[in-house]
Amino acid sequence: MKENILETLKNLNFTEYEAKAYLTLLEDSPLTGYAVAKNSGVPRSKIYEVLDSLTLRGDILISPGNTAQYIPVPAKELIKNRRIKAEENFERAEKSLAEFERSTNDRENIWNIMGRNEILEKVKDCIGLANKRILLEVWKEEFEELESELRQAAKRGVNVTIIAYGEIISDFANVYLHYMGDKITEEYGGRWLVMSGDDSEVVAGIVSLDNDSRAAWSRHVGLVMPITEVMIHDLYIMEMMEEHREVLEESFGKNLINLRRKFSIHPDFKKHYMK
């Protein structure tokens, strides 16, 4: 019978020596380390290593003193603790494997999101998953709805950098006020939102059309890389405008209007994405 119990304990992640020591203490305790070795057959050279391992895992308890003595956690409690730990491990495995599977699939897909509220909810999800950096190109209206999630991300140590259209003030983010501000809204005929999380996923789309607003969300590197890099280049331009605005506007017109006109395909020099 004892051999069967030893095998059962091994199935509960006990080594053979740990199982023998625990069963010895169930039979008779408290015992010194010397007594456990003598009664269990565990070599004396190994017994304290074995007892330390059982103590750290919470399977036995130690009574300190001039000569330490050991008692076992009752068998019923041991099984209960193992069951709880196993359930925690299963839950953690289920969650992490599902996330890994989803992440693997998402790397090859581009998802369409319809509706302003739905877009903002997806952005909130992405903010919650970010660990290192969030780049966000946003108007004040949408920033106000995302501010709480962004603040929580900053508290977690995430670097939050915002390219702001309109007056956005924040005590937790690096805010770059776009040099064009509201004039961009007029030129483009609406507001968009672009978010890059950890350089690994992006949400980008139009958010000023209420239920007809639409955006793309993806972890596909073919979108993540260029969208993230375009945002970084916007930051380059704003840094340069901050330091050398007078020189740049002398070459390219106020707010770089001549550059925007140069690369427009429409006679009115406005954008016509939203028709």
DSSP codes joined into one string, 210-273:
GGG-EEEEE--HHHHHHHHHHHHHHHHHHHHHHHHHHHHHHHH-GGGHHHHHHT--STT-----
Q: Is 217 left (phi over 0), alpha (psi -120 to 50) or beta?
A: beta
Final residue belonging to a domain, choices 73, 103, 127: 73
Based on the fold, state whether residues 214 and 155 are members of the same structural domain.
yes
pTM: 0.61
Residue 55 burial (10 A CB sphere; 0-12, 13-18, 19+)? middle
CATH code for the domain of 60? 1.10.10.10
How many residues are recorded in the chain?
Answer: 275
Final residue belonging to a domain, choices 73, 102, 122: 73
Q: pLDDT tens digit string along 82-137?
A: 899 889 999 888 888 877 766 665 667 889 999 999 999 999 999 999 999 999 99
Q: State the sign of the Cα–Cα–Cα–Cα dihedral 114, 201, 162, 144.
A: positive
Higher pLDDT: 1 or 156? It is: 156
What is the rounded distance in angstroms from the CA atom of residue 140 to the CA atom of residue 109? 30
Across 207-236, average pLDDT: 92
What is the rounded distance in angstroms from the CA atom of residue 93 to the CA atom of residue 95? 5
Based on the fold, state whether residues 129 and 250 are members of the same structural domain.
yes
**Number of domains into which the chain is organized:** 2
Question: Domain containing 52: what range?
Answer: 2-73
Which pLDDT belongs to residue 181? Answer: 58
Percent of the chain with pLDDT over 90: 62
Based on the fold, state whether residues 139 and 203 are members of the same structural domain.
yes
Confidence of residue 275 (pLDDT cuts 50, 70, 90): low
In a domain, 175, yes or no: yes
Based on the fold, state whether residues 149 and 29 are members of the same structural domain.
no
Residue 191 and residue 207 in contact, taking contact as beta carbons nearer than 8 Å: yes
What is the rounded distance in angstroms from the CA atom of residue 239 to the CA atom of residue 180? 14
Tokens at 87, concatenated? 């359930």
